[in-house]
Amino acid sequence: MSFTPSAATTRLLAASTGGNPTLPISAVWNSAGTTFTGIKFNVTDTASAAGSLLMDLQVGGVNRFYVGKDSQFRARASSNQEVNWDGRYFRLTRNTSTFPSFTIAVDSTYAFKIASPGSINWTGGTSDDLSDVSLFRDATNTLAQRRGGNPQTFRVYNTYTDASNYERGRLEWASNTFRIGTQAAGTGTLRDTEIFGASIQFHAGGSYRWFIQSSGNILASSDNSHDIGQAGTFRPRNLFLGSYVQRSEMTAPAAPAANSVRIYAVDNGSGKTQLMALFATGAAQQIAIEP
């Protein structure tokens, strides 16, 4: 099938190089009860190539907008700037990569896909405002929430009525400290925090310090290496035990600060374990000795 333009249409096409529109079309729709159609092109497709197009608008022989017979469409500003629907993916692309920067798929393989270093961004107002929350791909299997030098917060809600009534967990940076915990406001209740694992390790100062065994024992990272509390400051108050206290022999320590005493065990020089109390004056008194 072919289409032969009328003489008037031919004259309009020829005049287009002079700045006139190529195909000026106008209509008046003046009936509220009528459903109008501006342009209708109906194809009876008994045989055609898969790439056949219902519309193909070009500039200099290059596609700028086209619609395929299978409803695929593409609007292209350049080879890497386009809107494209191919029946499976919807793509918004604006980059110098050969891969689309943004893809929505209709199957379950990649329902939503962004090419790195693209990100998902939100603003506090309209879409034209600057982003204030961003998600990035830092590396394989690594999701990042970052925005320059701004500390970030991640929240998971247990309940939410409104911004003044909620229960939530939080991971956040505040005053250069990373914090994990729960929050509540209004009608919400502050909930407990639990940590799970076969064993739990604690690191500080870039080094491994303590761990909790699966049995529940709390152990230092190595033998005789770390203290609980500190002399004269940040001291635990009381120690309540349901069983015994066991300690090993050691070299006699230095005298403690004023108004303090140190309890320790030493060898008495004859192979007997001696339990001692050392006072601030440097005087050591025997509490008990191995029989």
**What gap in Å lies between CA 147 and CA 134, rounded to an integer?**
7
Q: For residue range 266-283, list pLDDT tens digits in order.
A: 999 999 999 999 999 999
Question: Is pLDDT above 90 for 220?
Answer: yes
Q: For residue range 84-100, list pLDDT tens digits in order.
A: 777 766 766 665 555 55
**What gap in Å lies between CA 179 and CA 196, rounded to an integer?**
17
**What gap in Å lies between CA 183 and CA 122, rounded to an integer?**
23
Task: Supply the pLDDT for residue 128.
Answer: 78
In the predicted model, what is the mean pLDDT of residues 173-194?
97
Question: Is pLDDT above 50 for 2?
Answer: no
Amino acid at 39: I
**What gap in Å lies between CA 15 and CA 12, rounded to an integer?**
5
Question: Is pLDDT above 60 for 167?
Answer: yes
Task: Supply the pLDDT for residue 13.
Answer: 52
Amino acid at 106: V
In the predicted model, what is the mean pLDDT of residues 15-44?
80
Question: Is pLDDT above 80 for 21?
Answer: no
**Contacts (Cβ under 8 Å, ≥6 apart) of 260:** 231, 279, 280
Percent of the chain with pLDDT over 70: 82
